[in-house]
Amino acid sequence: MSGTLQDRGDRVADFAPVERIEGRLDAGLLLLCDHASNGLPSAYGSLGLCAADLETHIACDIGAAEVCRHLARRFSAPALLTRFSRLLIDPNRGGLDPTLVMRISDGRIIPGNARIDAAEIDRRRALYWTPYRQMIAAQVAAMLAKGPPPAVIGIHSFTPLWKGLARPWQIGILWDGDPYFSAHLIAALAAKGLAVGDNEPYAGSLPGDTLDAEIAPRGLAGLLIEIRQDLVAEPPRARDWAELIGDVLAPILARPETHRTAAQQNIRAKC
């Protein structure tokens, strides 16, 4: 990184942190892609990594952005996708999470993060992390004002191997607190003959993550879809998976009772 602090600040601020896909405010669905891109503002160079490293899962969720964009088109639904790499700052971590800026990822030292101080973390949080969270909140508010409460789905992908062990799932549904929406989706995917992970390959409970901080407090149904990266690494295959997910998701979204939160179910029962 070079130039004066003012020069660097100007160049960093010019980098738009979020890609917005417009959609119907009454679509009943909001799509998010927290790790859509391996992009980095020019002021940060490559964070000291080689180009090959930036093409791997440590920089972004391979295939997730293509799936997200295709689903947005299919449902005419709004979508928000980050344009910055998770290595710059992870938008799916709580603002004070110690892994918000990774110094080491999957055994690789990230040179541009290795000696990062609190002031630089604050700066990245203000320029990238916070605008993404604010855009989610604004989009949810706009949808609530114009249509039914939207279900919120984050699109992610996971590596086929982790620490030498194969992951058998083709797709995982991650949820936390309220299993109602996820249970319907898991059952429908399993009925297609897929190997579906229920809170696999990760637990869906991560305090401060996007769904925990931005969706659950608003009483909305939300979950993460994780797809194994070897299945979506090529755009045509990613689009095929998006079509499959769309086919399964459409009848669930068409029946509001299948994607209400437990609180919404209780309110409805008392009416």
Residue 113 and residue 87 in contact, taking contact as beta carbons nearer than 8 Å = yes
Buried b / exposed e over 222-247, threshold 16 CB at 10 Å, is bbbbbbbbbbbeeeebbbebbebbbe
- Asked whether residue 116 is assigned to any structural domain, the reply reads yes
- Asked whether residue 42 is assigned to any structural domain, the reply reads yes
Give the pLDDT of residue 255.
86
CA dist., res. 137 & res. 135, Å (int): 5
- Asked whether residue 70 is assigned to any structural domain, the reply reads yes
Buried b / exposed e over 86-97, threshold 16 CB at 10 Å, is bbbbbbbbbeee
Give the pLDDT of residue 260.
67
Give the domain extent around 123. Answer: 12-270
- Asked whether residue 2 is assigned to any structural domain, the reply reads no
Per-residue pLDDT of the chain (271 residues; tens, 9 = 90+): 433 333 444 455 678 999 999 999 999 999 999 999 999 999 999 999 999 999 999 999 999 999 999 999 999 999 999 999 999 999 999 999 999 999 999 989 999 999 999 999 999 999 999 999 999 999 999 999 999 999 999 999 999 998 788 999 999 999 997 889 999 999 999 999 999 999 999 988 899 999 999 999 999 999 999 999 999 999 999 999 999 999 999 999 998 777 766 556 543 333 3
Give the pLDDT of residue 188.
97
Give the pLDDT of residue 270.
35
Contacts with 181 (C-beta within 8 Å, 6 or more apart), sequence order: 151, 175, 221, 222, 223, 252, 258, 259, 260, 261
Q: What CATH number has the domain bearing residue 44?
A: 3.40.630.40
- Asked whether residue 21 is assigned to any structural domain, the reply reads yes
- Asked whether residue 5 is assigned to any structural domain, the reply reads no
- Asked whether residue 7 is assigned to any structural domain, the reply reads no
Give the pLDDT of residue 266.
44
- Asked whether residue 115 is assigned to any structural domain, the reply reads yes
| Torsion angles phi and psi, residue 227, rounded to 5 | -115, 140
Q: Give how many domains the chain has, as a whole number.
A: 1
Give the pLDDT of residue 10.
43
